[in-house]
Amino acid sequence: MVIFTQEEDFEHEEEVIKTNGQRLLNYNGFDEFIQYQCEFSNYLTYKVELRSGLILTMGDGKNHCDHGIWCHHGQSFPLCSKFQIFGNVRTITPGIKELPDDYSYQVGRNYLSYLPNLDEINQYSAGEHCLDILIQINIDLFKTFSKGFESLPTPLLALINENSPPRFHFTVGEITPAMFVLLQQILKPPYQGMMKRMYLEGKVLELLALQLNQFLHNEQAIRAAIKLRPIDIEKVYHARDIIISQAENPPSLLKIAELVGLGDHKLRYCFRKVFGTTLFGYLHDYRMEQAKVMLAGTQMQVAEVANAVGYTHLGYFAKAFKKKFGISPKECQFGKNPIM
């Protein structure tokens, strides 16, 4: 896999735009539109600074081959809200204690992160079509919305109240129908010029409010139900992200416990409290859901899907799939609906 630094990627982009692309600055008087084709991808990006410290970026790309980009985040890196509409992107952040070494942005989910002063590698797979919306909000601007009476998830309270808040990366949850409506409105705004900018800012702030509410609701529900310490809940989610990012070949329970900083008995207890199942029970369900999506939405053979989700024995995969959904992988492939 070819891996570019940020600087190399920018230089390559500039060369490609000159020969096989276009850049439109101030496309609507306040934004930037870039489109190009190269040996690595077809890519379109739309970027707008809605106000000082609030940036919206929409990226739409089809990857021709496996490649990666090595990015550096400075000390003043903003709070980032991301909505993965299509495709999956793998991210590697080795040696960062607050994060798994390897995690993914997955289709249909939304994420919230604060990751100053680190390096990461974003990896893109051949044939993958990725569409995402990224909102970046400067920490000082984020603080202006706070008047001392807010109810926020614990990591965001730290952003407001601490001078050096800890880094974090959370999978907030699935993109809800209300979020999806806003995302579609952001992708296809009905106005131009100043009215477009006002419209987009309103939709972005509404989308952030929905995301923060989802985050807060999830945190409060977990605390009320299981009465675990916030730090243990974070470690359980960290463990969940590890097994998902390495679903094809997951680490042992002991290794995961070591990575997240919990004893294996406590990890088992806390994970069941949070997710209602064991760590590897969660992994099994995740693999089956991924397999269902692949069988229904791609031209992959059943054996290819089985391998992709970590099963080396086709018979075991078919048996597990039927037990989970009530139909065989072949029936799912041919359009029969699961009963579960």
pTM as predicted: 0.67
Tell me, what's the pLDDT at 55?
95
What kind of fold does domain 281-333 have according to CATH?
Arc Repressor Mutant, subunit A (1.10.10)
pLDDT < 70 positions in the chain:
26-29, 148-150, 222-226, 296-298, 335-340
pLDDT digits 0-9 by tens, 18-75: 888 888 776 666 788 888 888 888 889 999 999 999 999 999 989 888 888 888 888 8
> What CATH homologous superfamily does 2-226 map to?
Jelly Rolls (2.60.120.10)
Kindly tell me the burial class for residue 144, based on how many C-beta atoms sit within 10 Å of its own C-beta (0-12, 13-18, 19 or more): exposed
Per-chain mean pLDDT for the chain: 86
Using DSSP, state whether 191 is helix, strand or coil.
coil
Beta-strand relationship, 67-73 and 2-5: parallel
Give the residue extent of every domain in the chain: 2-226, 230-276, 281-333
CA dist 65 and 63 (Å) reads 6
